[in-house]
């Protein structure tokens, strides 16, 4: 029955569904293939969905999408064993239209989003694994699936098959990722009554809070933890680069339990009931790990293209925007009737001109810097905690003497030259 | 709130297990002779891998399909595929 589509999109996550939606809206014949029982059944995210890139696809989506809470407060914790240095921002302007970002539960959100693509005319096929791209004369002309007679053809195949992207690896777009290019993250959804969440996080019903936790949350390893508020549940998770997990011989679920029982965290979860446990890889190699993203008859979007800004925990927005840029490219290629690599390279150009690659480029050295210099998480976070404790403990010591003591203890631990070097190195990595 | 061990965590999940494993340890001898740490038994977030003295037991039914074992195996000794369409883990929430 060789059936031919204009576009086949592999993977109904944020990147794939965005691309399918826009292509379908423009009248293209779109097949969206999902390997899970339903879109979202294989997908995991800490939980922050950004308004801007979603709004470009579905204006005023917040009026109907299954969202949890608009985030009005973002906190950052530098956590030691029995203390925490905190900063953050809370603003009511994020709690009203057009909002800044939202917490979501992906299994619900992804289903709703894929339904939008279907309503626009895309054909969604669930429970189907794409086993390989069909390549003829150096050009991708379709995909082979695990269904009987499961070959389907298209002018363009969009690989939105997630962080593991076996398909782009098969095409030789990238080698196997190294353990320092991915973060292994585990999380739990913990049910907790809405009133308790509102009280503990100082929120109203329709206000959300996110906390990013550095330092002892990963036992000083390169990574972060997070605690996000849903309507009547919390998402708590922790991840480190797979290489750190291996080096330190940590079991990820033990690390999660360490976090959940940490004295700074435990009271916030008290009385909650675990509802789900999830593990996933996050592509965190950044700029240098972005593979080839366009070939003859094929483009790569979202996590499959390593489009994640780990420093700002942005990923779903980059996925969606890359899906949109891929769709624009496919539509233009269709007008030209040219689906060659040089034609589809327009997608690459759009990607590199957008905030996506600009932001990845800005932080291109960050992961490597922090991976190779564990002192930032292992030493400076405890130092910050000690400094704050000393400075705010009233014990009759004049403040100027306290400042001197703090400076002395910092340089004594690391050495003056090293401290200057560390500051310069960190600044260079994120400037 | 009680801390759940990995068995209890896994019990929260829904799996639709395939009859055949999508994970294959290609050569148990490599695990035995070259890999004293058997590091996959430590970092796998679902405790899929258990060393049984002579061979690696692969509890693929509880796999989250994250891909860590494929990338993290120091000897690239794990063949990693997706479970058949519609099978494997089914996340219901996040």
- Tens of pLDDT, residue by residue over B5-20, are 999 999 999 999 999 9
Q: Which of A197, A226, A244, A277 to mutate to test the interface with B (most CBs of B within 10 A)?
A: A277
| Helix H or strand E encompassing B38 | none
**Dihedral sign computed on CA atoms, order A204, A209, A215, A218:** positive
Q: Give B87 to chain A, closest Cα distance, Å.
A: 7
Q: Which residues of A touch B13 (CB under 8 A)?
A: 276-277
For chains A and B, CB pairs below 8 A equal 144
Q: Residue A180 and residue A201: Cα distance in Å, rounded?
A: 34
pLDDT on residue B3: 55
pLDDT on residue A373: 85
Share of chain A above pLDDT 90, in %: 89
Q: Give A180 to chain B, closest Cα distance, Å.
A: 9
State the DSSP string of A152-173.
Answer: EEEEEEEE---TT-HHHHHTTS
Burial A176-214 (b: 16+ CB within 10 A, else e): ebebbbbbbbbbbbbebeeebbeebbebeeebbbbbbbb
Domains along the sequence of chain B with CATH: 6-90 (3.30.70.20)
- Tens of pLDDT, residue by residue over B45-78, are 999 999 999 999 999 999 999 999 999 999 999 9
- Tens of pLDDT, residue by residue over A178-191, are 999 999 999 999 99
- Tens of pLDDT, residue by residue over A370-409, are 888 888 888 999 999 999 999 999 999 999 999 999 999 8
- Tens of pLDDT, residue by residue over A132-170, are 999 999 999 999 999 999 999 999 999 999 999 999 999
Q: Give A197 to chain B, closest Cα distance, Å.
A: 14
Q: Give A416 to chain B, closest Cα distance, Å.
A: 37
Cβ–Cβ < 8 Å for B66, A184:
yes
State the DSSP string of A291-353.
Answer: ---EETTEEE-GGGGT--BGGGTB-HHHHHHHHHHHHHHHHHHHHHT--SHHHHHHHHHHHHH
- Tens of pLDDT, residue by residue over A76-106, are 999 999 999 999 999 999 999 999 999 999 9
Q: Up-side HSE of residue A70: CA atoms within 13 Å toward CB? A: 20
Cβ–Cβ < 8 Å for A48, A84:
no
Contact across the interface for A43 and B91, Cβ inside 8 Å = yes
- Tens of pLDDT, residue by residue over A194-217, are 999 999 999 999 999 999 999 999
CA distance from start to end of chain B: 20
Q: Residue A43 and residue A58: Cα distance in Å, rounded?
A: 21
Contact across the interface for B72 and A106, Cβ inside 8 Å = no
Of B40, B47, B81, nearest in space to B62 by CA: B47
A5 forms beta bridges with A154
Q: Residue A239 and residue A218: Cα distance in Å, rounded?
A: 7
Q: Superfamily for A3-67+104-175+289-353?
A: FAD/NAD(P)-binding domain (3.50.50.60)
Confidence tier at B33 by pLDDT (50, 70, 90): very high
State the DSSP string of A23-88.
Answer: HHHTT--EEEE-SSSSTTTT----SEEEHHHHHTTSTTGGGTS----BEEEEEEEEE-SS-EEEEE
Contact across the interface for B4 and A269, Cβ inside 8 Å = no
A8 — phi, psi (to 5°)? -110, 125
Q: Which residues of B touch A36 (CB under 8 A)?
A: 86, 90
For chain A, give every domain's residue range.
3-67+104-175+289-353, 182-283, 367-430
Q: What is the DSSP letter of B60?
A: G
Return the SS3 of A225: strand
Q: What is the DSSP letter of A124?
A: E
Contact across the interface for A276 and B1, Cβ inside 8 Å = no
Q: Residue A380 and residue A359: Cα distance in Å, rounded?
A: 25
- Tens of pLDDT, residue by residue over A343-375, are 999 999 999 999 999 999 999 988 888 888 888
ipTM of the complex: 0.96
CA dist A115 → A8, A39, A40, A334, B50 (Å)? 17, 9, 12, 25, 40
Does residue A2 register a pLDDT over 80? no
Q: By mean pLDDT, which of A267-281, A401-415, B74-88 is the weakest?
A: A401-415
Please state at what angle helix A355-362 crosses helix A316-336, rounded to 10 degrees: 130
Cβ–Cβ < 8 Å for A194, A68:
no
Q: What is the DSSP letter of B64?
A: -
| Neighbouring residues of A245: CB distance < 8 A, sequence distance ≥ 6 | A184, A221, A252, B43, B68, B72
Contact across the interface for B65 and A42, Cβ inside 8 Å = yes
Does residue A1 register a pLDDT over 50? no
Q: Which of A191, A236, A246 to mutate to test the interface with B (most CBs of B within 10 A)?
A: A246
CATH C-level class of A182-283: alpha beta
Q: Residue A85 and residue A89: Cα distance in Å, rounded?
A: 14
């Amino acid at each position: 029955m060789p059936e031919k589509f204009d576009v086949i999109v592999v993977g109904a996550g944020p990147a794939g569904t965005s691309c399918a939606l826009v292509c379908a809206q423009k009248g293209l014949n779109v097949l969206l293939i999902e390997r899970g029982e339903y879109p979202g059944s294989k997908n995991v995210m800490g939980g922050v969905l950004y308004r801007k890139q979603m709004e470009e696809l579905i204006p005023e989506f917040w009026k109907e999408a299954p969202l949890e809470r608009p985030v009005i407060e973002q906190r950052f914790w530098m956590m030691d064993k029995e203390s925490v240095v905190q900063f953050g921002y809370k603003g009511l302007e994020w709690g009203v239209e057009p909002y800044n970002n939202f917490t979501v539960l992906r299994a619900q959100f992804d289903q709703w989003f894929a339904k939008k693509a279907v309503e626009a005319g895309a054909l969604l096929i669930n429970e189907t694994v794409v086993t390989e791209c069909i390549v003829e004369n150096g050009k991708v002309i379709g995909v082979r699936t695990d269904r009987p007679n499961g070959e389907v053809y298209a002018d363009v195949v969009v690989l939105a098959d997630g962080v593991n992207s076996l398909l782009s690896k098969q095409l030789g777009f990238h080698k196997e990722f190294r353990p320092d290019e991915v973060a292994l993250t585990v999380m739990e959804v913990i049910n907790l009554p809405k009133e308790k969440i509102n009280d503990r996080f100082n929120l109203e019903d329709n206000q959300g809070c996110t906390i990013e936790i550095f330092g002892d949350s990963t036992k000083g390893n390169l990574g972060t933890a997070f605690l996000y508020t849903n309507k009547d549940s919390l998402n708590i998770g922790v991840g480190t680069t797979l290489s750190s997990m291996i080096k330190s011989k940590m079991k990820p679920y033990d690390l999660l339990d360490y976090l959940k029982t940490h004295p700074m965290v435990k009271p916030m979860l008290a009385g909650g009931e675990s509802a789900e446990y999830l593990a996933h890889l996050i592509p965190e190699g950044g700029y240098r790990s972005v593979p080839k993203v366009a070939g003859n008859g094929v483009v790569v979007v979202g996590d499959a293209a390593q489009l994640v800004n780990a420093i700002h925990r942005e990923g779903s927005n980059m996925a969606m925007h890359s899906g949109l840029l891929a769709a624009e490219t496919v539509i233009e290629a269709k007008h030209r009737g040219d689906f060659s690599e040089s034609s589809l390279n327009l997608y690459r150009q759009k990607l590199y001109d957008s905030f996506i690659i600009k932001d990845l480029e800005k932080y291109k050295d960050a992961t490597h810097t922090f991976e190779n210099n564990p002192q930032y998480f292992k030493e400076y976070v405890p130092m910050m905690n000690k400094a704050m404790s000393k400075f705010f403990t009233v014990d009759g010591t004049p403040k100027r003497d306290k400042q001197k003591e703090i400076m002395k203890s910092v340089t004594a631990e690391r050495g003056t030259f090293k401290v200057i070097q560390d500051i310069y190195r960190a600044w260079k990595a994120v400037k | 709130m009680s801390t759940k061990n990995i068995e209890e965590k896994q019990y929260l999940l829904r799996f639709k297990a395939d009859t055949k494993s999508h994970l294959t340890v290609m050569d148990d001898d490599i695990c035995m002779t070259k890999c004293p740490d058997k590091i996959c038994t430590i970092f796998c977030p679902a405790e899929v891998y258990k060393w049984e003295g002579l061979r690696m037991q692969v509890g693929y039914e509880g796999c989250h399909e994250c891909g860590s074992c494929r990338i993290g195996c120091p000897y690239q000794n794990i063949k990693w595929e997706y479970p058949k369409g519609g099978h494997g883990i089914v996340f219901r929430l996040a």
